[in-house]
Chain A
Amino acid sequence: MFTPTLTLAIAWIACAAGSIVALALAILPAARRLPAPLLGWMLAIAPATAFVALAAQLPRLFAGEVLTWRVEWLPALGVSFGLYLDGLSALFGLIVTGIGGLVLIYAGYYFAPTHHHTPVHASIANPQSPNPESQIQNPKSNDARFFVYTLLFMTSMLGVVLAGDAITLFVFWEGTSVTSFLLIAYKTKDEEARKGAFKALFITGGGGIALLAGLLIVSAISGGADWATIFRSGAALRDSPWYPVMLGLIAFGAFTKSAQAPFHFWLPTAMSAPTPASAYLHSATMVKAGVYILARMHPALGNTDLWFWLLVITGAATMVMGAIIGLRQVDLKAVLAYSTISQLGVLVMLIGEEATAAFKALVIGVLAHALYKGALFMIVGVVDHATGTRDLRRLGRIWRAMPLTFAVCSVAALSMAGLPPLFGFLAKEALLAAEIEAVLPAIMRVILPAATVLTGAFILAQAGTLALDTFVTPAGAGFFKTVVDLPLTGEGRDDPEDVETIDRSKPAHAHIEQTLAAHDPPLAMLIGPAVLAALSVIITVFQPQMFTDLLAGAASAAYGAKVKVSLDLFHGINLPLILSAIAIVFGVGVFVLRSPIRSVNGLPALSMNRVYERALSAIDRLAALATRTQGGRIRVYLSVILVALFGMIALLGNLSQLFAGLPLARLGEHFVKDLLDPMALLRAFSLLLAVAAAFVSVMMRRDLLAIIALGASGLAVAVLIALEPSPDVALVQVVVDLLSTVILILALSHLPGAQLSRAEALNHTDRAAAARNALLAFIGGAIVTVMCLYAFASRPRESVVTPYYEQNAKPLTGAADIVGAIVVDFRGFDTLIEITVFSMAGIGVFTLLRKALTRREAQRALPNGESPARQGLDAFRASPFTHALTYAALPLAFVLASVQMIHGHDEPGDGFTAGVTLSLAVGFWYVIFGYEVAKQRLRALRPGLLIGLGLLTVIAGSIAPAFLGGTFFSPFDFGAALGLPLPAGFYLSTSFLFELAICLAVLGAALFIIDTLGHPEGELE
């Protein structure tokens, strides 16, 4: 029915769909009442579907096919979303979906609130137990989010192992880090859990970035990101000078993810995740992602000395360390975490060894570990549930109460111990066989088997501890001190890598009571561990052909050539078997002597946790140092920006050439010629006036005088514009300059007087600062002068655009005023946006001062009962003559504005000028009559309404022509079209409407500004 490649996509889509369903169930109120076990069973459908979809493809894979599927993602960058299925992906994919399904079912019962009953003593003794049950006992806690995280993780993890190219792999890789973070910090109120989650994200996230960099280098050298291309260019990659860099980066990513020493320390603290998540993420799947990427890249990057030594040494060190530290742990999950680290070391070491036997051992090791460790984690969850503790010193003799659990645990532990006839035995045999391969350097053929025997012995002792100390021996049997004497802190636990998840404040006898009350969980909860444990037996005893083929396919894909895998346990008496026997004997010895071994306090003092914490605090200190450079002084920032800019100009611009090439001579000629022009003297005078007035604004001690000087400078600029000659712009400049001055004075009147005089005094006190600023200003001015000189000398003397406007203004728009035609017709849309911006500025001023500033804050501005500089504008006393003028100003302004609008397209003046003229008259009222009176008499002028009317008019006026035979914004004479009897020279056209709209909007915005800035102090709403 489905093509094989489509089925591949379906496998991933099933998991993605599952996570969406889980999310929906977690959000929908109705679904939140679903019992957790039902939720688990329902959601297990997703991985089950994916499992079947993958398993269905196995025959094709065994025949040597590789399935790929891809869709374009960012075609411009050559990035696509690709899936890829070969033997290696299939092995990991089946583990991810298979164990995923079992974990979901198990988790349903783990989170079910019903089956656990707490003994009275324990709950009285410690009502605020930090044990996992505190989650479970609270029926209100919504554990649906566990399923959401887990399914999201599953989707990401399946994406990692099925990814068809480096980019897709990286995206999903990060997905696993994030979901892992969420699961580790699942108990959000537990600070240790949050810290552990951050630690895990910090380490694996850093590795992820390195991995991305490494993969990008690989892709760049290969010329493609998909696996086939990368495998083809293996020789080029290994010969590249970048080889150590890319291998280092990818190995760093893999080592952090797979908890290799010295980056292993995030994994034990990650055990704060709910046990189902630990079983799934931190044992069976996610931590193997690093192993997967190394195995995946082996055909391309492997077979070099660097590869061998890097992986073998790291892996072997991790293997031994994990095994030894693990035996010292007292928390069951910590024991499992360290034995996981040890096994991950084994796998990395095997990839490094690169013999066919090594890859055979690798795939067997991956599967065997996933089976027994998954089962053991789930068993620990069951024990934790039944007894309320995971402390080995407090557990014991519960096998009678929990016979089924004990049986499952025993099988899994035997596999972990590497005893025949279990799968784990085969894994160890294969491992030892790989280590005595002739291709290895001679010294490694001694060191590695010795290390492995040592590791095997300790892992066996750990397995014995897990099964026997938990279920059979009396509580505290493996420890020197009896449980009642246990100190509350310490006892050889000064190494912070030990997991502190055990509640030490709880009296020991409470646990013993609980231990007595223990019982087997519901059978369904044992399905997961039982299936996994059973597989550990079935695979070696019955040796199903399917598993042999699956493992052979995976090993071949990782090795890059055919690898044969046999599941036979017995190959005759050979060296591996003898070594294995030694390990078992030695291991039994370690188990028997576990108490004295545990009390030896000879661990190295260097703890990676301390290194990590120091590194973090160093980063914090560095950040504090960096923020110290932020003085918060705005003018310092501006100075730095200016100095940097000047420096850049000095460095990049060729200064000597720049000054030598100054077109002074040419401009000088012009200057002499211009002197004969009678207007030139006026121009020169205006320029001088503009500069001089601006300079006066610097020198004036009082702010008010400075503002008036500024106004004078602006008026001089207006004269220059008028001399251009450019009457329209000059008019606008005049009215805007006046209005700006008025607004500035209004604002000045609002600043408290004492502060102002203080600020004014500052202007002239700091001479050093003034000199510095003057220097900066001088350099800036000089740069602009040089720029102007060049610009003026080389400006084009023929315009391309202007003649078009000149010729078409009258015919196309009917306007004799070319500037006006450009503003309201040729660039009408621009102007529409412009008046919108201006209106927004007005509304913004209003909002800031009326809404953002509360009355309380306004009053706080006057600390010592100081009064503002002037009480609004009410205090101003005007003569009757001024009053009369003011009364006259408004109607006059109306007439002026109307004339400007009507004739704007033929004569000087336009909507802007009209609007600002009106605003000036209104501003005059505010100044002369005071806020209250002006507000009262001009209440018909509502700013918001004016702005709205203005913008609507222009929009309606520009849309209307589109329906009347023209286009959007095309000129149209409505008066002529309707046959209205209008006076000569007045056209009811789109231009007129536009001018009217501009006038309204500008008036509205200016009114907002005047109204809010003219508001008397202390009466803010």
Chain B
Amino acid sequence: MEILRAFAIGALFGIGLYQLLRRNVIRVAIGLVILSNAVNLFLLSVGAYDGIVEAYAKAVGQRSDALPQALILTAIVISMGGFSFMLALLYVIAVRYRTGDSDEVRGLSH
């Protein structure tokens, strides 16, 4: 299953990059979410144990690896915070430059 997973993560990453490179700022925001999904999936997949049961003390059998889970739990929440902030920035940009096209946001060249 890892081989499939590797290709899926690579595909998600590529799709995220493609979205980031587009001119429409909404698509850029979407790309960011896809990228963070890909990274979270990667972290989850490199855990040491292929679990049969969830990581609870009372569970019997091979538990899944708790460590990467705890890490991505934090990562998911943080990336939502960052994502919201980025949306707010995009909104301000859209208002200031009167556009949703990142090519028209050219403060650097003036």
Contact = CB atoms under 8 A, between A and B. Distances in A.
Given A788-B5, A823-B70, A848-B89, A695 B15 contact: yes
A692 to B, nearest CB: 9
Given A729-B72, A809-B57, A713 B105 contact: no
B74 A842 contact: no
B95 A860 contact: yes
B100 A806 contact: no
A784 B13 contact: yes
A763 B23 contact: yes
Contact of B33 (A740, A822, A1009, A1013): A740
A664 B55 contact: no
B23 A759 contact: yes
B10 A744 contact: no
A1005 B83 CA distance: 13
Given A690-B12, A739-B80, A838-B78, A759 B99 contact: yes
Main secondary structure, interface of B, reads helix
Contact of B82 (A694, A739, A841): A841
Contacts of B83: 740, 743
A733 B82 CA distance: 15
Contacts of A720: 41, 44
Interface string B6-49: 11111111111111111111110110011001101110111111
A763 to B, nearest CB: 5
Contacts of B110: 632
Given A785-B9, A809-B57, A845-B88, A777 B48 contact: no
Interface residues of A, number: 130
Contact of A725 (B33, B64, B94): B64
Report, as a range, how many residues of chain B touch the other chain.
35 or more
A763 B57 CA distance: 50
Interface stretch (A40-48, A314-322, A829-837, A988-996): A829-837
Main secondary structure, interface of A, reads helix
A446 interface: no
B71 to A, nearest CB: 9
Contacts of A783: 10
A830 to B, nearest CB: 7
B60 interface: no
Contacts, number: 351
A438 to B, nearest CB: 68
Nearest to B100: A759
A806 B63 contact: yes
Interface string A240-260: 000000000000000000000
A716 to B, nearest CB: 9
B6 A785 contact: yes
B40 A634 contact: no
B69 A724 contact: yes
Contact of B73 (A725, A760, A762, A823): A823
Contacts of B56: 816-818, 906
Contact of A852 (B4, B66, B92, B101): B92
Nearest to A628: B109
A999 to B, nearest CB: 12
Interface string B66-110: 110110111011101111110111111011101111110111111
A847 to B, nearest CB: 9
Instruction: From A677, A733, A830, name the one whose CB has the most chain B CB atoms within 10 angstroms.
Output: A733
Interface string A691-735: 100110110000100110010011001001100111111001100
B2 to A, nearest CB: 4
A788 B9 contact: yes
A910 B70 CA distance: 12
Given A805-B67, A852-B92, A763 B27 contact: yes
A562 to B, nearest CB: 65
A593 interface: no
B39 to A, nearest CB: 9
Interface in A179-217: none
A838 B24 contact: no
B80 A863 contact: no
Interface stretch (A160-168, A269-277, A477-485, A747-755): A747-755
Given A671-B1, A756-B100, A777 B94 contact: no
A980 interface: no
Nearest to A859: B95
Interface stretch (A338-346, A530-538, A793-801, A940-948): A793-801
Contact of A703 (B24, B53, B80, B89): B24
A403 interface: no
Contacts of B58: 816
Contacts of A756: 26, 100
Interface string A765-790: 01001000110111011111110110
A642 B40 CA distance: 21
Given A755-B94, A806-B57, A747 B87 contact: yes
Nearest to A720: B41
| The 8 residue pairs across chains A and B that have the minimum distance between CB atoms | A781-B14, A785-B10, A632-B109, A632-B106, A841-B81, A788-B6, A777-B18, A759-B100
9 contacts: A627-B109, A632-B105, A714-B37, A717-B41, A729-B72, A759-B25, A795-B47, A805-B66, A853-B91
Given A792-B45, A853-B92, 4 more contacts: A630-B109, A632-B107, A691-B8, A791-B42
